[in-house]
């Protein structure tokens, strides 16, 4: 996926048929992060508090909204304009923002499915039946996140070590 | 009844309300972002810029603090503001919490 043009609040990308298929498949996996993963505080006593419940409500509401946006995007014939063997698609600044959140949900959710592996801590990925693609999905989601972030901020560091902070 | 002093003891519920409103106004909560091995550094920087309106340099400084020190205190806020920021950061999938700033 390559940025072709950025004008005002709109970003036009060119992507191959395969990239479009992969992007749409990733987006359709949303949401992957379990609601119970979101914790307002590390204090154990607060887990059942009204504030914690409010956080889960906020996350649930966002999910419903983003799921509908994803559905509309991937089912729209007009959004991806064919051009020879490629497609052109234009995203607004607002769309870029929710696409980043959706893709990152797929990345983090895949990581959770793998048992939250951490090479620095010597914790390898846990491979469970039915989640064979989780590692691949993590990397593919990162690929598209990079592309969107590059469009917004200019070239970014693709070094695999330029990760884990957050 | 002259000469009888009535102690002024607020009912518990009043005290709760008082402490809740004090909590809601005083900047006694820290918004903390914790390190994890999954979120991209450039993504974290982007999120800090969007959520707090920081310039890239400041956002990168906090992102690097998360990366090297395991966490970064992003801001100190009232209960409601801290909650708002944690909601925003978690919407982006960051590992962020709010903790009471104990003296």
DSSP H or E run through B68: helix B56-69
**Per-residue confidence (pLDDT) for residue B7, from 0 to 100:** 43
Is the CB of residue A59 less than 8 Å from the CB of residue A38? yes
% of chain A surpassing 70 pLDDT: 92
pLDDT band at B22 (very low <50, low <70, confident <90, very high): low
Q: If you average pLDDT over residues B66-95, what whole number do you get?
A: 95
pLDDT at residue A157 is higher than 80:
no
B40 with A40: Cβ contact below 8 A: no
pLDDT band at B48 (very low <50, low <70, confident <90, very high): very high
Give domain status of residue B5, yes or no.
no
Question: A48 or A166, which is more confident?
Answer: A48
**Per-residue confidence (pLDDT) for residue B11, from 0 to 100:** 45
**Per-residue confidence (pLDDT) for residue A145, from 0 to 100:** 97
B33 in contact with A, Cβ within 8 Å: yes
B46 in contact with A, Cβ within 8 Å: yes
Give domain status of residue B14, yes or no.
no
Give domain status of residue B6, yes or no.
no
Q: Which domain holds residue B84?
A: 27-100
- Give the number of beta-carbon pairs within 8 Å between A and B: 111
Q: If you average pLDDT over residues A148-162, what whole number do you get?
A: 78
Give domain status of residue B36, yes or no.
yes
Q: How far apart are alpha carbons A66 and A51 in whole angstroms?
A: 23
Number of structural domains chain B divides into: 1
Question: Which of A32-46, A64-78, A92-106, A149-163 is predicted least confidently?
Answer: A149-163
B92 with A163: Cβ contact below 8 A: no
Tokens 């708002």 locate to: B84
Q: How far apart are alpha carbons A35 and A44 in whole angstroms?
A: 17
Beta bridge partners of A82: A87
Residue A153's Cα: distance from chain center in Å?
18
pLDDT band at B27 (very low <50, low <70, confident <90, very high): confident
3-state secondary structure of B78: coil
Mean pLDDT of chain A: 90
Q: Which residues of chain A are within 8 Å of residue B78 when distances are taken between CB atoms?
A: none
* Burial call A89-109: b when 16+ CB within 10 Å, e when fewer: bebeeebbbbbbbbbbbbbbb
pLDDT tens sequence across A51-102:
888 999 999 999 999 999 999 999 998 999 999 889 999 999 999 999 999 9
Give domain status of residue B49, yes or no.
yes
- ipTM confidence: 0.90
Greatest C-alpha distance within chain A = 59
Give domain status of residue B10, yes or no.
no
Q: Check which CATH number belongs to the domain holding B86 and give it.
A: 3.30.1390.10
pLDDT at residue B13 is higher than 50:
no
**Per-residue confidence (pLDDT) for residue A159, from 0 to 100:** 61
Is the CB of residue A114 less than 8 Å from the CB of residue A127? yes
* Burial call A41-74: b when 16+ CB within 10 Å, e when fewer: beeeebeeeeeeeebeebbeebbeebeebbeebb
Nearest to B98 among A41, A117, A120 (CB): A41
Mean pLDDT of chain B: 84
Q: If you average pLDDT over residues A110-135, what whole number do you get?
A: 89
A12 in contact with B, Cβ within 8 Å: no
Give domain status of residue B40, yes or no.
yes
B40 in contact with A, Cβ within 8 Å: yes
Is the CB of residue B67 less than 8 Å from the CB of residue A164? yes
Q: How far apart are alpha carbons A96 and A117 in whole angstroms?
A: 28
Torsion, CA A35, CA A36, CA A41, CA A43, rounded to 10:
170
Order the strands of the B96-100 sheet from edge to edge.
B71-77, B29-34, B96-100
Give domain status of residue B3, yes or no.
no
């Amino acid at each position: 996926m390559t940025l072709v043009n950025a004008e005002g609040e709109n970003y036009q990308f060119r992507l191959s048929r395969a990239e479009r298929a992969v992007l749409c498949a990733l987006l359709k996996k949303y949401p992957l992060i379990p609601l119970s993963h979101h914790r307002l505080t590390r204090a154990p006593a607060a887990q059942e508090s009204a504030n914690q419940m409010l956080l889960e409500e906020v996350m649930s509401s966002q999910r419903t909204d983003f799921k509908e946006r994803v559905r509309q995007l991937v089912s729209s014939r007009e959004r991806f304009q064919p051009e020879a063997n490629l497609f052109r698609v234009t995203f607004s600044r607002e769309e870029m923002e929710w696409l980043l959140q959706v893709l990152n949900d797929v990345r983090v959710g895949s990581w959770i499915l793998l048992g939250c592996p951490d090479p620095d801590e010597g914790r390898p990925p846990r491979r469970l039946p039915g989640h064979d693609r989780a590692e691949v999905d993590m990397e593919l989601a990162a690929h598209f996140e990079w592309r969107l972030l590059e469009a917004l901020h200019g070239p970014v560091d693709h070094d695999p070590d330029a990760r884990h902070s957050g | 009844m002259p000469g009888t002093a009535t102690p002024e003891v607020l009912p518990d519920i009043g005290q709760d309300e008082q402490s809740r409103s004090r909590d809601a106004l005083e900047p006694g909560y820290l918004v903390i972002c914790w390190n994890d091995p999954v979120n991209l550094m450039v993504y974290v920087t982007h999120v800090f810029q969007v959520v707090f309106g920081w310039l890239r340099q400041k956002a990168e400084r906090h992102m690097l603090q998360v990366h090297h020190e395991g966490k970064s205190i992003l801001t100190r806020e009232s209960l409601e503001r801290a909650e708002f920021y944690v909601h925003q950061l978690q919407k982006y999938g960051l590992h962020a919490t709010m903790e009471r700033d104990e003296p």
